[in-house]
């Protein structure tokens, strides 16, 4: 290990919280590395690249893929080290008050401070609990939608009742031949405006219902019908279908916390104990985004940005105790001024 191998802060997770933390760490003149387990940056947004994102101030509703582009370009402004396809599996204390991060491939990463921005962990979609359903994943059963045009003029069945399922139903309604939304509970769980929009369009809504059977074509390689059952009446209904989309949420991997020796405390299945400034009970380890929960926490992208600023400021003071407790307004920061034109090109081109 040489001095060049040591970073001021290493950010684990390349979603919105991690990417904005990377930018803000550069603004505060810290040597920064960001590490992402997936092949590409963007975090959970990569699951929904065509889904419209509504909750970022000053940015009109935009596809998630475009939001990722902006976040990545912003994160690169101060030339951080960016590693993708690198899964960190443990955190340990080293000498000289350094942390050692061990990657799945055996590589070691050395850092003075850590920012945890892993969201709900490495996410895997909850699969449809029907025997044999997995064989249709190569044809017309999917757990996200990568291209809306694929659904044009088709009959689409969506199973789920949260924000993602409702948003997909509304996006597909003017494109598909027909959209059916099936939800096992009696009330949808999306934003009110989107639920109202759905109730006022042509989406066929099947509440208190679930898919109980899939019927395939003669070759047995493509779903042609789904059978659903209404849980109160037990009435079954057969729906002809071209595409089936399952939005039943995700299961999370938390191998990082299980393997680490630093003693991070979890308060719930998905959350690391931290305060509103991103401070965990382990000195030198901070957290931002959906990985943390505290009174007043906002689990939106906008909330991730707020978390990132607070946590990065705490990291700066941890590394440099004499540092100011927050960054100066960027437009008044001489160090930042030579970057202004670059940012203007990025965000207003």
Positions at the binding site for FAD: 36, 44, 48, 88, 123, 290, 331
The alpha carbon torsion through 284, 290, 327, 101 (nearest 10 deg) reads: 30
Whole-angstrom distance, CA of residue 232 vs CA of residue 274: 43
Strand-pair category, 6-12 with 81-83: unpaired
CA angle 294, 295, 298 (to 5 degrees): 75
Are 183 and 270 contacting, i.e. CB atoms less than 8 angstroms apart?
no
Alpha helices in the chain (DSSP H): 16-27, 64-75, 163-172, 192-199, 255-259, 301-319, 334-337, 340-348
Cα distance from N-terminal residue to C-terminal residue, the chain: 42
Helices 163-172 & 192-199 angle (0-180, nearest 10): 40
Strand-pair category, 141-142 with 272-273: unpaired
Residue 22 burial (C-beta neighbours within 10 Å; 0-12, 13-18, 19+): buried
C-alpha of 189 from chain center: 19
Q: What are the binding residues? A: 36, 44, 48, 88, 123, 290, 331
């Amino acid at each position: 290990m040489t001095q060049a191998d040591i970073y001021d802060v290493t950010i684990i997770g390349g979603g919105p919280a991690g990417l904005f933390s990377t930018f803000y760490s550069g603004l505060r003149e810290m040597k920064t590395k960001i590490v992402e387990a997936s092949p590409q940056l963007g975090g959970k947004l990569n699951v929904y690249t065509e889904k419209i994102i509504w909750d970022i101030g000053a940015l009109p509703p935009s596809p998630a893929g475009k939001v990722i582009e902006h976040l990545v370009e912003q994160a690169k402004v101060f030339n951080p080290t960016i590693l993708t396809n690198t899964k960190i599996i443990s955190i340990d204390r080293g000498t000289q008050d350094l942390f050692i991060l061990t990657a799945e491939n055996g590589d070691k990463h050395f850092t003075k401070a850590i920012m945890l921005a892993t969201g709900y962990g490495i996410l895997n979609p909850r699969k449809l609990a029907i025997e044999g359903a997995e064989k249709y994943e190569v044809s017309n059963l999917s757990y996200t939608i990568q291209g809306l045009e694929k659904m044009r003029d088709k009959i689409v069945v969506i199973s789920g009742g949260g924000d993602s399922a409702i948003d997909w139903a509304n996006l597909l309604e003017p494109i598909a031949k027909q959209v059916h939304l099936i939800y096992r509970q009696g009330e949808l769980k999306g934003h009110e405006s989107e639920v109202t929009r759905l109730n006022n369009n042509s989406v066929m809504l099947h509440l208190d219902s679930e898919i109980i059977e899939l019927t395939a074509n003669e070759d047995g390689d493509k779903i042609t019908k789904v059978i659903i059952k209404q849980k109160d009446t037990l009435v079954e209904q057969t729906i002809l279908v071209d595409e089936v989309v399952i939005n039943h949420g995700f299961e999370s991997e938390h191998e990082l916390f299980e393997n680490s020796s630093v003693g991070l405390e979890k308060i719930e299945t998905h959350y690391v104990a931290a305060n509103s400034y991103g401070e965990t009970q382990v000195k030198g380890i901070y957290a931002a985004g959906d990985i943390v929960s505290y009174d007043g926490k906002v689990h939106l992208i906008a909330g991730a940005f707020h978390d990132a600023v607070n946590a990065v400021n705490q990291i700066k003071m941890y590394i440099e105790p004499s540092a100011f407790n927050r960054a100066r307004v960027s437009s008044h920061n001489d160090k930042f001024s030579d970057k202004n034109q670059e940012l203007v090109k990025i965000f207003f081109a």
